Amino acid sequence: MRGSLENIVVEGVSRFFVPFIQIFALYVITHGHYGPGGGFQGGVILAASIMLLRLSLGEEYEHRRFSPRLATVVAAVGMLIYAVAGLLPLAWGGNFLDYAYLPIPGLSPAELRYHGILIVETGVGLVVWGTLVILFDHLMGSEP
Amino acid sequence: MSHLPVLIPVTLLFSAFIIPLAGFLKRDLAFAIALIGASLSFVFSALGLLAVIPGGELRYHLGGWIPPVGIEYALDVLSAFMATVVTFVGTLALLYSRRSILQEVPERFVPMYALAMLLLAGLAGIIVTADLFNLFVFLEIASISAYALMAVGDERGCVASFRYLILGSIAGSFYVLGVGFLYFSTGSLNMADVAQRLPNLHDSRAIVAAATLIFIALGLKMALFPLHLWLPDVYSYAPSAVT
Amino acid sequence: MNAAIADYNYLMTATLLVIGLYGMVGKRNLLKKVIGMNIFQTAIFLFFIQGATKPGATVPVWDARISGEAAGYINPLPHVLILTAIVVSVATTGVALALLLTIYRRYGSLEEGTILERMKQSS
């Protein structure tokens, strides 16, 4: 389907690149504890992929794929992941955000903290993704 | 019961993020969740106040890491009292804000409540935290929610809010600079730890610079006398419930 | 004077800070104020990163071949503080741009003088 720009080169190239950008963003999120990266950076790259689509394919077409309402839901879900990962240890005897008490069986406390950070970084990545797409839509669209 | 210091801002943050989801379903649900979140936080701060009055304070280590390695939340009598007052006033303001917001800005009903929750969460977090940089984070959460809330009303509210935004971000950045000076001089970010290490360094110029910067930053935010220029415009142009 | 030249990196950070402050206060176009705010915040981040370095130390990713103890790696705590401050800066810039958009739609201009005149006319 043609977008509003009617330039097939721009459309083709951006459509081709978006999956690679998103996989790279996933890599940045998961390797945050061992190299540069982490939740915020990966979330920004994910938002950049959506912005690329919006700029090159036109808004009416893109809103059907990743609507602003979906961006709000993604942001809220990410924050809920963070809050649940923080509040779950309260019920099992630890402090807030104490990943050693997360109820995942068969892992030692050090490994639980390791995985707990990954869960929280994913939540942060989702929040940043949703928030930046909402910001972009409000700045570039005609919604109030 | 010992989890109280962290539950006070966390319930507000949690409800702030459930409100957009609930607002998609039904608009009045957002108001109900906001009210529930604020009153729950008020109950927690009142319980905290009752727990610290007999003496002693509640110190809470976030994530199980002991300070100075970890972030710490502390409730002593002064901070529990301030938290109770702030959440009480917040709950009352929310209770009576519904009709006012419906009258003035009905199309932005749901976002106003999410922002109000974030503002209250930021204020409650400032009171509860015992870590210098965590205070900056909550200060900025409260400020950004305030910038957005003030701009919704009258048309001239946007210009007043922009002026507050520029001055407020100068203030936040000065606070970060002050905390940086303190950290590089004392080596710790925990308020009690820094207080312990300061008497040995009373001759250092960096500490004086840090104290000045933090004082100016907080004075800008509170609209202390010479730095109060942004306040009258904001009060006149914001929607009534926000004030 | 020798001390000032020896700490030239801190001098440049202070220069950026003052440039950002001038942009926020001295320029009349609202967008230039936002740009000045970003320059100001960048100067503060640079100050933190300069304070985190140690002589002869390297990137704080642990590797037994490089060094076994903490003195071989630079202090990673200020880097984490800067990450948080960058997120705050992004959020503030986003809100500022949204406000600018609403101001432009209402008053038709981004110059401070014109906006104040139109505010007085419409009140």
Mean pLDDT of C49-73: 76
Assess whether B67 and B113 both reside in one domain: yes
Which domains occur in chain C, in start order?
2-122 (1.10.287.3510)
| The two structure tokens encoding residue B64 | 């199980």
Q: Sorting pLDDT into bands at 50, 70 and 90, what band is B236?
A: low
Nearest chain A Cα distance for residue B65, angstroms: 8
CA distance C4 to chain A (A): 33
In sequence order, the 6+-apart residues with CB closer than 8 A to the CB of A135 are C94, C98
Mean pLDDT score across all residues of chain B? 80
Neighbours of chain A (3+ CB pairs under 8 A): B, C
Nearest CA in chain A to B64: A98
Which of B107, B130, B153 is a domain's end point? B130
| Cβ distance of A83 and B10 shorter than 8 Å | yes
Reported as a single tens digit per residue, the pLDDT across A72-87 is 889 889 988 888 888 8
Domain count for chain B: 2
In this complex, the residue of C61, C83, C97 whose CB is nearest that of residue A139 is C97
Question: Nearest Cβ partner of C51 from B144, B148, B180?
Answer: B180
Q: Using the beta-carbon criterion (under 8 Å), do C98 and A35 form an inter-chain contact? A: no
* pLDDT at residue B177 tops 60: yes
Query: Does one domain contain both B74 and B96?
Result: yes
Tell me the nearest-neighbour CA distance from A135 into chain B, angstroms. 13
Provide the phi-psi class of A97: left if phi over 0, else alpha when psi is between -120 and 50, else beta. Answer: left
The complex's ipTM works out to: 0.88
Distance CA C97, CA A68 (A): 18
Beta-ladder partners of B75: B58
Q: What's the confidence (pLDDT) of residue C96?
A: 92
Put simply, the answer to whether B62 touches A95 (Cβ < 8 Å) is yes
Whether B10 and A87 lie within 8 Å, measured CB to CB: yes
* DSSP β-ladder status, B58-61 and B72-75: antiparallel
Confidence band of B83 (pLDDT split at 50, 70, 90): confident
Query: Quick one: B118 and B138 in the same domain?
Result: no
Note whether B117 and B151 are same-domain residues: no
**Residues B7-24, mean pLDDT to the nearest whole number:** 85
**Measured between alpha carbons, how far is B111 from B123 in angstroms, rounded to an integer?**
18
Peptide bond into B68 cis (omega under 30): yes
pLDDT for position C19? 93
Which pLDDT does position B214 carry in this prediction?
A: 79
Strands, E assignment, A11-144 = none
Question: How does B150-173 read in b/e, with b if 16+ C-beta sit within 10 Å?
Answer: bbbbbbbbbbbbbbbbbbbbbbbb
Tell me, what's the pLDDT at B24?
79
What local confidence, expressed as pLDDT, does residue C38 receive? 94
B187: chain C residues, CB-CB within 8 Å: none
**Identity of the residue in A34, A35, A40 whose CB atom sits nearest the CB atom of C87:** A40
Same domain, B120 and B142: no
Q: What is the pTM of this model?
A: 0.88
Instruction: Determine the pLDDT at residue A144.
Output: 43
Specify whether B236 is located in the same domain as B162: yes
Cβ contact C98–A138 (<8 Å): yes
Mean pLDDT confidence for B147-158: 77
A100-121: average pLDDT: 78
Out of A95, A99, A101, name the one closest to residue B61 (CB): A95
Are B64 and A72 inside 8 Å of each other by CB?
Answer: no
Cβ contacts of C63 within 8 Å, gap of 6 or more? none
**Which pLDDT tens digit goes with each residue over C62-79?**
777 777 776 777 888 888
Summarize pLDDT for A19-72 with one digit per residue, the tens.
Answer: 999 999 999 998 887 777 788 999 999 999 988 888 887 767 777 778 888 888
Query: In percent, how much of chain B has pLDDT > 70?
Result: 88
Task: Determine which helix (DSSP H) or strand (DSSP E) holds A135, and give its type and residue range.
Answer: helix A109-140
CA distance C14 to C45: 11
Query: Which residue, of B130, B149, B184, is where some domain finishes?
Result: B130
Do B116 and B171 fall within a single domain?
A: no
The pLDDT-based confidence of B193 (bands split at 50, 70, 90) is confident
Which residues constitute the domain of residue B101? 1-130
A6 — pLDDT class (breaks 50, 70, 90)? low
Predicted pLDDT at A112: 78
C92/B140 touch (CB, cutoff 8 Å), yes or no: yes
Chain B residue numbers touching C10 (CB-CB < 8 A): none
Domain co-membership, B58 together with B14:
yes
Per-residue confidence (pLDDT) for residue A2, from 0 to 100 = 46
Are B64 and A69 an interchain contact pair (Cβ–Cβ within 8 Å)? no
Domain boundary among B110, B130, B150: B130
Mutate which of C29, C80, C103 to test chain B, going by most B C-beta atoms within 10 A? C103
- For residue range B37-74, what is the model confidence (pLDDT) as tens digits? 888 888 888 888 888 888 777 788 877 777 777 788 88
Q: Beta-carbon neighbour count of residue B207 at 10 Å?
A: 17
Tell me the nearest-neighbour CA distance from C58 into chain A, angstroms. Answer: 13
In terms of domains, do B107 and B193 share one? no
Judgement on whether residues B113 and B168 belong to the same structural domain of the protein: no
Per-residue confidence band for B238, with pLDDT thresholds at 50, 70 and 90: low
Q: Are residues B166 and B226 in the same domain?
A: yes
User: Which is more confident, C8 or A96?
Assistant: C8
**Domain chopping of chain A, boundaries:** 8-140
**What is the reported pLDDT for C108?**
82
Whether B126 and B195 share a structural domain: no
C-chain CB neighbours of A128 within 8 Å are 87
Q: Which of A31, A40, A129 to mutate to test the interface with C (most CBs of C within 10 A)?
A: A40
Of B10, B13, B64, the CB nearest to A94: B64
